[in-house]
A and B are shown apart, each in its own frame.
Chain A
Amino acid sequence: MSTRVRGVSSQIVNKITPSGIRRFFDLVASTEGAISLGVGEPDFATPWHIREAAIYSLEKGYTMYTSNLGMPELRRELARYLKDSQGLDYDPDSELLITVGVSEGLDLACRAILDPGDEVIMPDPCYVSYNSCVVLAGGKPIMVPTSEKNNFEISAADIEAQVSDKTKAIMLGYPSNPTGAVMPRDKLETIAEVARRHNLLVISDEIYGRLVYGVEHTCIATLPKMKDSTILLGGFSKAYAMTGWRLGYVAASKEVIAAMFKIHQYTIMCAPTMAQVAAIEALQSGEDDVSAMVEDYNRRRLFMVKGLNKIGLPCFEPKGAFYAFPSIKNTGLASEEFAEKLLMEEKVAVVPGDAFGECGQGYVRCCYATSMADIEEALSRMGRFVGRHRK
Chain B
Amino acid sequence: MLKEILEILENDARTSAKQIATMTGGKADEVSKLVKKAEADHTILKYKTIVNWDKVGDEQVSALIEVRIAPQRDVGFDSIAERIYRFPQARSVYLLSGTYDLLVVVTGKTMHEVAEFVTKKLAPIEGINETTTHFMLKRYKEDGEILGDGEEVKRQPVIL
Contact = CB atoms under 8 A, between A and B. Distances in A.
Contacts, number: 56
Interface string B1-29: 00000001000100100010011110000
Interface stretch (A32-40, A86-94, A266-274): A32-40
User: Chain A at the B interface: mostly helix, strand, loop or mixed?
Assistant: helix
A302 B157 CA distance: 23
Interface string B140-160: 000000000001010111111
Interface stretch (A41-49, A75-83, A104-112, A201-209): A41-49
B24 A25 contact: no
Contacts of B155: 36, 39, 41, 43
A173 interface: no
A128 B160 contact: yes
A248 B8 CA distance: 33
A119 B63 CA distance: 72
Greatest chain A CB density within 10 A among B15, B22, B158 is at: B158
B158 A127 contact: no
User: Chain B at the A interface: mostly helix, strand, loop or mixed?
Assistant: loop
Nearest to B20: A299
A300 B23 contact: yes
B22 A25 contact: no
User: How many A residues touch the partner, as a band?
Assistant: 20 to 34
A355 interface: yes
A302 B23 contact: yes
Interface string A303-315: 1001100000000
A302 B25 contact: yes
A302 B153 contact: no
B114 to A, nearest CB: 33
B89 to A, nearest CB: 35
Given A302-B23, A372-B23, 12 more contacts: A28-B158, A29-B158, A38-B157, A39-B159, A40-B160, A41-B159, A299-B24, A302-B25, A306-B22, A355-B160, A372-B12, A376-B19
21 contacts: A28-B157, A29-B157, A29-B158, A34-B157, A36-B157, A38-B159, A39-B158, A40-B160, A41-B155, A43-B153, A45-B153, A177-B160, A300-B23, A302-B25, A303-B23, A306-B22, A307-B22, A349-B157, A351-B160, A372-B23, A376-B19
